[in-house]
Amino acid sequence: MAIAGIGLGALAAGPAPAQPAGAGDAIVCESLVELRLLMAGAPGDRAAASSHLAERTGCRRVPRAALGAVEHRAMVGGAPFECLAVREAAGCLWLLP
């Protein structure tokens, strides 16, 4: 009976959104310009931004475990951005917030 209650509660809340493959990965770009262009194509929607990765040659997914320390910070239009060290990358990569 308790299991049915949990299931009904989950149904009442609506279906869970589908997560793209590699949902535990981080989206990073080689330049802040590339990251901003990726974000402009999908404002506020991480899943949509993920679907546009093929259009941005300077952007890709990396495992979150590969992310290191913040090397650079920038403010653009009042929004903070961070460039993190990434294992096996020549320089820092800008992280999708």
Q: What backbone phi and psi angles, to 5 degrees, belong to 96?
A: -65, 120
pLDDT digits (tens, 9 = 90+) for 48-95: 888 888 888 899 999 999 999 999 999 998 999 999 999 988 899 999
For residue 97, name the pLDDT band (cuts at 50, 70, 90): confident
Q: In 3-state terms, what secondary structure has residue 61?
A: strand
Model confidence, pTM: 0.71
Gyration radius from the chain CA atoms: 17
Sign of CA dihedral 73, 39, 50, 7: positive
Percent of the chain with pLDDT over 90: 47
Cα separation of 38 and 52, whole Å? 7
